[in-house]
Chains A and B, each alone.
Chain A
Amino acid sequence: MVAEQLIEDIRTSRPGVEVKEVPYQQRGYWFDLSAGPEDIEEVARLFDRHGYYIEDVCCVDFKEYLQLVYHFNHWDDPRRVSVRVNLPAEEPVVPSISGVYEGAGWHEREIHEFFGVHFENHPNLSYLFLHEGIDFYPLRKEKVPVPEERKRLLSSLPVSESDDVFFVNMGPQHPSTHGVLRLILKMDGEYIERAEPVLGYLHRMQEKMAENRTYLKYLPNASRLDYVGAMSYNLCYVRAVERLCGIEAPPRAEYVRVIAVELNRIASHLLWLGTYLLDLGAFTPFLYAFDDREQILDLLEGITGSRLTYCYCRFGGLYNDVDEDFIEGVKAFLKRMWKRFKIYNDLVTGNVIFIHRTKDIGVIPKEIARRYGVTGPNLRASGVGYDLRKAEPYGAYRELGVEVATGEKGDALDRYLVRLQEMENSLRVIERAIKELPNGSYRVEVRKLKPPEGDVYFAVEGPRGEVGVYIVSDGSTTPYRLKWRSPSFSNLTCFPEISRGVLIADAVSILGSLDLVIPEMDR
């Protein structure tokens, strides 16, 4: 429906753009557009007019040319469309689409510092992750130095204009930024005029590491990207490679994967609950949440052996099978967890102080969410019932189904309520999965993994939003390019917009309610 209308419009206004339909089961997207650099702005405007949101912007270095890949998706018509733009390797210049999709602004900054692509008309093309003094482009296949005239872009901060405003650093070491995130706040008295996040304190070059390791050897790295919701990343990577190679895991493995991922989702939301309330000043819910989380971690330790970074899903199934202990443990946990929600509701949800701290704070309207690429509970709290487990079902979600929790206004209180509701929905999914757990083998033997040439995109619904991986393979045993679409990165892009004119105490509350985990942002 929407996709066909979009393609009609593109064909009429920009006939030079090629449109191809691709098999979804192999590639993960439905339509593949190839545009030139001069078409991309108009194409982006057409996407915007039809209501698409920006998912990811990625760049691949094919030695003779660079290829920019834009992924777009739609809430009502969840068929992914990707747009490719080929650029010459010596002078890669392309107009920026951040005038249309502001969320692409940060992606373009990242591509600029890692690949050297220059985006015209970008409002602030300065370094995002890397430090000043890097004089080559790291993710290129060969070492390409930074040309002289671009070196002035290495400095990332503009100088202050008047004396009435002053800068406050919510520094990298801060109890409530949940990791090493630095926020430079331009303050006007007690109110924030502009917030400028500075990233890169936890950058580990995960994407470059992927190019030097085989698919099997990269498995432990995937979990360490977001150690709080590690199971989703593990699952996403394994499913992407399975899609690329055409491997199907047996049904029992899919069901157990779903159970493990939902348990991990509850654990991640509990951690978020504890730390959010710790930011707001209540010390006890943190410990109650960790008590519950401990039960989940013990369960997952019983099957996977690890408590935080799981390396459980393997290509073709699981590492080992589940036993009766686990199933009994899960049933006991479910019974206990249903009673614990009363504690959280009594202690936190109805509490008048908490409501005053979170009501009408940090409202994310739907349009902003769409243009910045916000996904996950943040998006659902704004009233959009978009959940990848329902829109693009994968694994056992096709049979199990899932209930989607939505809010109304999009303020911090709605985000809190949506996450609480999501925990309950996860409990229901686990109940159904345990009841219908099929017997059978837990693994399909995969001896030699040799993926065909091509690219694949796979996205799952992680606790924070849409976790996606884009793998380009050239037929060898190591990936040619691996790009992670991390939800915290896209969620943080809207923070400067929604935090204009708020008090600092509210900024802390907004940051906490967005549920950011910095390692997956910095990769």
Chain B
Amino acid sequence: MRVLRKAFGDDLVRIGFGLVGTGFVALLVLLLLGLLGMKVWKLFAPYGREAIRAIVGLVGVLGFVLFNALLLVWAERKVAGHMQRRLGPKEVGPYGLLQSIADSLKLLGKEILTPRFVDRPLYYLAPIIVFIPVLVAFVVIPFDARLQVRDINVGIVLILAFSSLNVIAILLAGWSSMNKYSLIGGIRSVSQNIAYEIPLLLSLLPVILLAGSLSLKEIVEAQSKVWFVFYQPIAFIIYFICAVAETNRTPFDLPEAESELVAGFHTEYSGMRFAMFFLAEFTNVFIVSAIATTFFLGGYKGPVLPGIIWFFLKAYLLVFIIMWFRWTFPRVRFDQLLNFSWKFLIPLALANLIVTGWCLKL
């Protein structure tokens, strides 16, 4: 108990125990009622398969998120190493595969410091909120023709709406740290995120027009013959640039830059709380790549292999390209970054949208 508290921090432990405790009490109540003779399973009858599917899906998603984060941490370091003509981690486990686990154990063992003058409720809330859009986005992504937790018919709107929560989380983190530099970093990140959400949306709209639906499954099905990237190359490039900017990766990683004054909005977080930000960033990278594959590269469609393997191949290829960007380019200066979005990307995306709409009408 003390170890858990030390590793995860009071707040996370409290919330975790709260959830587990509520679930336990609910199970107890059901058991009691069942023992008393009430046919409890009839409660679930109308939902039946859907409920089981929802639970299995959520558990699968959580597992996948953690596995993906571990994999990406290792992959980032290995890719960085080989691009710099050196080996990445190689000591811990064969080819350094267990390095991520070693890093996680180290982070768990760190002392969780709460600086004295922070705004406590906001400070505790920020790492939790940053994880919510990530989990929600996984619910609607189609991994295969029938491997999707829920196919909501406004799937993409759900994802985009929840990714705006990211902005709030960063702002909370920067504001509550009571640190001049974290605040500056947080504000920069917020304005960067907002500036790049608009071209993101505008570049996804032509695809939606082409597919005729907002549901992700339908968009993938509409690419049975030709992938949308051949119809909309400009939209793909704009989307990719905005995706890199949304996840705060180089060349757009000014909020996290070390060689400037600030270390970004997560300066004051240590240990597991920092790990939450970190994990959320890596999972975000995967999510934007997954959305790019569903919208532009045909999702799980492909000749011989099962759909899920195609999906992962395409998504991880895009993840590799995002990492490739990071280790090649220098940082863009902040005002140039905003100029690029407002003065270049948005007009281009709008023009693309108008041309697409016109072509479709004709």
Whether the complex brings A and B within 8 Å at their CB atoms is answered: yes
Residues of A within 8 A of B (CB): 168, 170, 175-176, 277-284, 287-288, 291, 347, 351, 353-354, 356-357, 503-506, 508
Binary A-proximity of B80-91 (CB < 8 A = 1, otherwise 0) = 100111100000
Binds A, one of B107-115, B167-175, B219-227, B326-334: B326-334
| Cβ-defined contact, B332 with A353, below 8 A | yes
| Cβ-defined contact, A351 with B330, below 8 A | yes
22 A-B interface contacts by CB (under 8 A)? A168-B261, A175-B258, A279-B259, A281-B251, A281-B253, A282-B329, A283-B327, A284-B327, A284-B328, A287-B85, A288-B85, A291-B85, A351-B329, A353-B329, A356-B332, A356-B333, A357-B330, A357-B331, A357-B333, A503-B333, A505-B334, A506-B333
Q: Report chain A residues within 8 Å CB of B257.
A: 281
How far is the CB of A293 from the nearest CB of chain B, in Å? 13
CB contacts under 8 Å to A, within B227-282, are 250-251, 253-254, 257-261
CB contacts under 8 Å to A, within B280-301, are none
Q: How far is the CA of A356 from the CA of B250 in the complex (A)?
A: 15
Question: Which of these, A176, A351, A353, A356, contacts B259 with CB under 8 Å?
Answer: A176
SS class, residues of chain A in contact with chain B:
helix
Residue on A nearest B334 in the bound complex, by CB: A505
Residue on B nearest A354 in the bound complex, by CB: B330
How far is the CB of A356 from the nearest CB of chain B, in Å? 6
| Cβ-defined contact, A504 with B84, below 8 A | no
Question: Which of these, A168, A277, A287, A288, contacts B330 with CB under 8 Å?
Answer: A277
Residues of B within 8 A of A (CB): 80, 83-86, 250-251, 253-254, 257-261, 326-336
How far is the CB of A343 from the nearest CB of chain B, in Å? 11
| Cβ-defined contact, B328 with A282, below 8 A | yes
| Cβ-defined contact, A284 with B259, below 8 A | no
How far is the CB of A203 from the nearest CB of chain B, in Å? 25
Q: Report chain B residues within 8 Å CB of A506.
A: 333
Q: How far is the CA of A353 from the CA of B261 in the complex (A)?
A: 21
| Cβ-defined contact, B328 with A281, below 8 A | no
Residue on B nearest A277 in the bound complex, by CB: B330
| Cβ-defined contact, B335 with A504, below 8 A | no
Q: Which of A280, A288, A347, A506 has the most CB of B within 10 A?
A: A280
Q: How far is the CA of A506 from the CA of B329 in the complex (A)?
A: 17
How far is the CB of B87 from the nearest CB of chain A, in Å? 12
| Cβ-defined contact, B259 with A175, below 8 A | yes
Q: How far is the CA of A277 from the CA of B259 in the complex (A)?
A: 11
Q: Report chain A residues within 8 Å CB of B335.
A: 503
| Cβ-defined contact, A281 with B250, below 8 A | yes
How far is the CB of B139 from the nearest CB of chain A, in Å? 35
| Cβ-defined contact, A284 with B260, below 8 A | no
Q: How far is the CA of A287 from the CA of B86 in the complex (A)?
A: 9
Q: How far is the CA of A283 from the CA of B250 in the complex (A)?
A: 10
Q: How far is the CA of A505 from the CA of B261 in the complex (A)?
A: 9
Residue on B nearest A283 in the bound complex, by CB: B327
Q: Report chain A residues within 8 Å CB of B326.
A: 283
| Cβ-defined contact, B328 with A347, below 8 A | yes
Residue on A nearest B333 in the bound complex, by CB: A505
Q: How far is the CA of A503 from the CA of B80 in the complex (A)?
A: 30
A281-B331 in contact given A353-B251, A504-B260 (Cβ < 8 Å):
yes
Residue on B nearest A347 in the bound complex, by CB: B328
Question: Which of these, B84, B254, B331, contacts A287 with CB under 8 Å?
Answer: B84
Q: How far is the CA of A236 from the CA of B259 in the complex (A)?
A: 34
For the A-B complex with A170-B261, A175-B258 known, give 18 more contacts whose Cβ atoms are closer than 8 Å.
A278-B259, A279-B259, A280-B259, A281-B251, A281-B257, A281-B259, A281-B329, A282-B329, A282-B331, A283-B80, A283-B326, A284-B328, A353-B251, A353-B330, A353-B332, A354-B330, A503-B335, A508-B260
Q: Report chain A residues within 8 Å CB of B259.
A: 175-176, 278-281, 508
Q: Report chain A residues within 8 Å CB of B336.
A: 356
| Cβ-defined contact, A505 with B330, below 8 A | no
Q: How far is the CA of A168 from the CA of B257 in the complex (A)?
A: 17
Q: Which of B83, B250, B251, B333 has the most CB of A within 10 A?
A: B333
Q: How far is the CA of A357 from the CA of B328 in the complex (A)?
A: 15
A284-B84 in contact given A168-B261, A503-B333 (Cβ < 8 Å):
yes
Top 3 A-B pairs, shortest CB-CB distance: A281-B331, A282-B330, A280-B330
Residue on A nearest B329 in the bound complex, by CB: A353
Q: Report chain B residues within 8 Å CB of A291.
A: 85
Q: Report chain B residues within 8 Å CB of A353.
A: 251, 329-332
Q: How far is the CA of A175 from the CA of B262 in the complex (A)?
A: 11
Q: Report chain A residues within 8 Å CB of B327.
A: 283-284
Q: Which of B85, B326, B330, B335 has the most CB of A within 10 A?
A: B330
Q: Report chain A residues within 8 Å CB of B83.
A: 284
Q: How far is the CA of A282 from the CA of B80 in the complex (A)?
A: 12
| Cβ-defined contact, A505 with B260, below 8 A | yes
Q: Which of A175, A281, A287 has the most CB of B within 10 A?
A: A281
